[in-house]
């Protein structure tokens, strides 16, 4: 049996993941640590291509076939899923951990109507809990969930195919399916990127409700730092396959420690083009096949020191933050 922290729904320790490709090995995650307590909501932000989706997919063991767990441990609800068979993990998906993919059509089947797919989700939830399925009740539950996510014409939408829906409607169908499953852990990868801010506010409220009522944990991957801050207790910042910083949400937005986190927050647009260009971090994003030696951010870091290009920094704890940077020891 695994020794584990019973308070944690997810416990990732020193996890490294590599994609094998014809053009070389791409190290998408490098010694990542992440612990998520039951009932806790954690937002992951960071550079595009830094491994956020890879981390989410690793937790539910749905990585692409060319991905390999190369190092570390990954406990989901107390079980090391790198050691479980696919069949065993599939039993954990849905009711233990439900993932909303960044590409919603990855969750939905393009050739099946929405109602068929939502009923399948309800059926599998009931089966996992050993309860009986009643078609009429399930249909009503599905409609109600669609209305909860503010879907107009729910009776019509539920009878359509995914291609007959708008981007935000597809996203809401997937969110509704996640809410139907009432999982212990919801991993939501950019779930509101196609929603207008009014619907987004509603969806965030629903997630908070589930978090409070059922003690659901949330991993919320997003590019929108405002949204991340509003939904999460803690925020994790990723850069080039590594966790640069993990802090309480309020601390991160007010007093980010890692130079990458600081630069990221400084890039949030607030102006109009008449006032000049937007801030972007100078230099180019790292080549993930041969990443920079030492700290992966050092070629773009305004505070770079000698040591930064030689050795990879370890994670240190400063006040309430965990930060991977030589500025802090």
Partner 1 sequence: MDEPIVKTIGLKKYFRAGKSGLLNRIFRQEPPLVKAVDNVSIEVQSGEVLGLVGESGCGKTTLGRLISTLETPTDGEIFFTGQKVTRGNWKAIRRQLQMVFQNPYESLDPRQSIKSIVTEPLLKLGFSKAEREAQFEKVMSAVGLDQNFAQRRPKDLSGGQRQRVAVARSIVSTPKFIVLDEPTSALDASVQSQVLNLLVGLRNDFNFSYIVITHNIAVARFISDRIATMYAGQVVELGPTDMVLKDPKHPYTQALLKSVPTLEIKRVEPPHGEVPSLINLPSGCRFHTRCPYVMEKCKTQDPEMRKVGDVNVACWLY
Ligand X SMILES: Nc1ncnc2c1ncn2[C@@H]1O[C@H](COP(=O)(O)OP(=O)(O)OP(=O)(O)O)[C@@H](O)[C@H]1O
- Span near Mg ion by CB under 5 A; candidates 46-54, 169-177, 222-230, 287-295: 46-54
Residue 173 to residue 184: CA distance in whole angstroms: 20
User: DSSP letters of 46-113?
Assistant: E-TTSSHHHHHHHHTT---TTEEEEEEEEEETTEETTSS-HHHHHHHBTTTEEEE-SSGGGTS-TTS-
Residue of the chain from 5, 144, 209, 287 that contacts partner 1 (CB under 8 A): 287
- Span near Mg ion by CB under 5 A; candidates 14-22, 101-109, 145-153, 198-206: 101-109
Is position 151 an interface residue for partner 1 (rule: CB under 8 A)? yes
Q: 271 is in the binding site of which of Mg ion, ligand X, partner 1, none (Cβ under 5 to 8 A by kind)? A: partner 1
Position with the least CB separation from ligand X: 168
What is the smallest separation between the CB atom of 222 and ligand X, expressed in angstroms? 9
State the DSSP code for 312: P
Sheet hosting strand 242-248, strand order edge to edge = 97-100, 185-189, 217-221, 41-46, 234-239, 242-248, 321-323, 316-318
CB closer to ligand X, 28 vs 264? 28
State the DSSP code for 328: G
Closest CA to 120 of 141, 99, 100: 141
**Chain positions contacting ligand X, by CB under 6 A:** 19, 21, 26, 28, 48-54, 64, 66, 102, 164-169, 194, 288
Is position 32 an interface residue for partner 1 (rule: CB under 8 A)? no
Q: 84 is in the binding site of which of Mg ion, ligand X, partner 1, none (Cβ under 5 to 8 A by kind)? A: none
The tokens for 257 are 């420690």
Residue 166 to residue 94: CA distance in whole angstroms: 25
Residues that bind partner 1 (CB under 8 A): 19, 21-23, 45-49, 53, 64, 66, 102-103, 105-106, 150-153, 156, 159-160, 164-169, 172, 190, 193-202, 205, 223-227, 229-230, 253, 263-265, 267-273, 277-281, 284-285, 287, 289
């Amino acid at each position: 049996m695994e020794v584990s922290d019973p308070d944690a729904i997810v416990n990732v320790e020193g996890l490294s993941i590599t994609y094998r490709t014809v053009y070389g090995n791409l190290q998408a995650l490098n010694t990542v640590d992440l612990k998520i307590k039951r009932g806790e909501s954690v937002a992951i932000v960071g550079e595009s291509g830094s491994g956020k989706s890879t981390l989410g997919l690793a937790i539910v063991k749905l990585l692409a076939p060319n991905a390999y767990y190369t190092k570390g441990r990954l406990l989901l609800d107390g079980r090391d899923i790198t050691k479980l068979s696919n069949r065993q993990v599939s039993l954990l998906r849905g009711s233990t951990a439900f993932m909303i993919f960044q590409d919603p059509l990855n969750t939905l089947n393009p050739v099946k109507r929405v109602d068929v797919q939502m009923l399948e989700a309800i059926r599998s939830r009931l089966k996992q809990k050993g309860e009986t399925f009643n078609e009429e009740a399930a249909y009503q539950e599905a409609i109600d969930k669609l209305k909860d996510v503010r879907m107009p014409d729910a009776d019509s939408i539920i009878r359509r195919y995914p291609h007959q829906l708008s981007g935000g409607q597809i996203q809401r169908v997937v969110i509704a399916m996640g809410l139907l499953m009432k999982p212990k852990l919801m991993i939501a990868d950019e779930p509101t990127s196609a929603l207008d801010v009014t619907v987004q506010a509603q969806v965030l409220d629903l997630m908070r409700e589930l978090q409070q009522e059922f003690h659901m944990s949330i991993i919320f991957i997003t590019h929108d730092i405002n949204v991340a801050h509003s939904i999460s207790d803690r925020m994790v910042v990723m850069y080039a396959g590594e966790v640069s910083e993990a802090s309480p949400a309020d601390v991160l937005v007010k007093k980010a420690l890692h130079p990458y986190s600081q630069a990221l927050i400084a890039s949030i647009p607030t102006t109009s083009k008449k006032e000049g260009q937007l801030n972007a971090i100078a230099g180019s994003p790292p080549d993930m096949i041969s990443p920079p030696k030492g700290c992966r951010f050092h070629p773009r870091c305004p505070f770079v020191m000698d040591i930064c290009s030689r050795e990879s920094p370890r994670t240190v704890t400063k006040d309430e933050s965990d930060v991977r940077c030589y500025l802090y020891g």
